[in-house]
Amino acid sequence: MDFARPVQAVIPGAQGRILAVLVETSAELNLRALARLSGVSLAQASRVLPGLVLLGMVERREVPPAALFRVVPDHVAVRAVMDLSRARDVLLGELGRLAANLSPPLVSVIVFGSLARGEAGIESDIDVVVVRRAEVAEDSEPWRHEVEAWRRAVRRLSGNAVELVEVGEGEVGRLLRSRRPLWREVVRDGIVVYGTPLTELRAA
């Protein structure tokens, strides 16, 4: 999935670009502003908007000599587009929900990299730090099975490859305080989707 441009990824062309702009604002926009913000030509915007108005997804208000457009948030299709525009936030919530079901429980799950920064495209990996409890052996077969099942579930949710960095509870604090580039990135961009917050992990 392209989490940086989810609407345009699923609804290609000028229509997807225009809808992506409209669902991100409650303001009315004129044709010229819509074309500029969506990166399409005035001619393309002029062709697309009448169809969206006809579907009832967009309402048009005449303010001579111009016209103003905005989405109709109650429209069933607009609701779907709005949900699509929030795909990244939905995925982050689902990662936490799935992590909560693992047994034995995890200490923390931290998303970092392009997804955390809101830049993840269709070919981006989902980078995750998984912190296992001190009493769980790294080579425990049940543990390995649980983590691999979680990885497969995330892949099915997103369509993106999942890169896991697994660390133990006893070493995560030292790593987060280190100057190594990977861990500096985790501290800078990391989003905890489940478990102990970064500040507490770093102080451990």
Domains of the chain, by residue range, sit at: 6-84, 86-203
Predicted local distance difference test score (pLDDT) of residue 140: 85
Those residues with Cβ within 8 angstroms of residue 11's Cβ, 6 or more apart along the chain or in another chain: 19, 81
Predicted local distance difference test score (pLDDT) of residue 56: 96
E strands within the chain? Answer: 29-30, 58-63, 66-71, 108-112, 126-132, 162-168, 191-195
Predicted local distance difference test score (pLDDT) of residue 26: 83
Q: Which of residues 183 and 141 earns the better pLDDT score?
A: 183
Residue 171, number of CB atoms within 10 A of its CB: 12
Predicted local distance difference test score (pLDDT) of residue 47: 96
**Over the stretch 116-155, which tens digit does the pLDDT of each residue have?**
999 999 999 999 999 999 898 888 888 899 999 999 999 9
Predicted local distance difference test score (pLDDT) of residue 173: 94
**What is the CATH T-level fold of the domain 86-203, as seen in this structure?**
Beta Polymerase; domain 2 (3.30.460)
Q: Which of residues 137 and 160 earns the better pLDDT score?
A: 160
Taking alpha carbons only, the member of 38, 41, 47, 36 closest to residue 17 is: 38
**Over the stretch 31-87, which tens digit does the pLDDT of each residue have?**
999 999 999 999 999 999 999 999 999 999 999 888 999 999 999 999 999 999 999
Predicted local distance difference test score (pLDDT) of residue 4: 94
Per-residue pLDDT averaged across 175-197, rounded?
95
Those residues with Cβ within 8 angstroms of residue 145's Cβ, 6 or more apart along the chain or in another chain: none
Tell me the C-alpha to C-alpha distance, in Å, between residue 141 and each of 14, 98, 136, 137, 195: 50, 19, 10, 9, 23
Per-residue pLDDT averaged across 99-105, rounded?
90
Asked if CATH classification 1.10.10.10 holds for the domain at 6-84, the reply, yes or no, is: yes
Q: How far apart are CA 113 and CA 155, in angstroms?
A: 16
Q: How far apart are the first and last CA of the chain?
A: 35
Q: How far apart are CA 183 and CA 203, in angstroms?
A: 14
Per-residue pLDDT averaged across 168-187, rounded?
94
